[in-house]
Structure 1
């Protein structure tokens, strides 16, 4: 791993660009979401100084402690599980939520976004492996719920998010990434509603995810170092 944060960021951008080109996709079609959970605001500021503007946090309380300390030009996404009682606190500070894992949570975000006059972007979380430790819609139930989700007019549904079951070999995650893309295509055909976004791929497997259609990759340790 390159020794400085600036070098690591440059390396990541190069790897993302190479994987994007290898997949025959347009340059710039994949966004790097720097996962800054557990890392201090000072390190985020260092990354921002090198041109990284998009950051992801897992926990509402941690995000609320950091965001006011950093430049207002930075963009923030929430990528961890969101409890309904914390929606009101975080909604004004983030432009997207990657972890909308139930119809109830979507309805709650809709209600509070209406009260706050906000239009948050969301990704619908899919539990591809049906793992009991993870939240998310199943691939079978999401097609049933999507028509109602699309009636929630305060929510901008960008697409789908998934964290496949852990595999030490990145290639072993390829079928799961392909499955999410195929589900997205099926839902788009079913509803005639564009769902362009695929939030998938992390530090060890983002290149495979890009080859399978990821539009935003969530990278933490490969940028900031091990936690």
Structure 2
């Protein structure tokens, strides 16, 4: 388990570890190519419909020849990794030890271990051509809003951002429309960055529409938001 004392280390000691984590992640992603990042809660049990959807999503991505990148923990992360792994696909886990997540899920063809959230989260954005989020808590919200911000500000290349589960995400999107757009805190076109759906066929259509260009660039090196 990660040593909580690390948060009290001076930045001069933390930075070399973060740099090493990023370098190792970049080297690994360079070997396996572009992927699709999947976000979601560690707390969703295996009998939940969203677990089943995440598993099916992982399977479909693998069958389409696309690498899946998930958080490596239980819940939605496990389901997505499992679907890809059992379908014979490339299944990357970005693992970080937390009090609620004391072990990595076993459905990973490529396993990366992180001490710091900053390097782990940056790795999601290094070599992904699309981002898919299923229901989740604060961590999932953090990942979703960061990728929206990075695409909105063009710090990342344009990429699909798909939220799976209209009942879960609908209230948040209504709030964004009423409060952020209504108060002119975002532009009208910013909402077009996001697709909300319950249909995995639609998810795959959105993903496949953007991925042909990356199939032509298999040697493109991972890059951080700039």
What TM-score comes out, normalization by structure 1 length? 0.31
User: Which one has the bigger helix percentage?
Assistant: 2
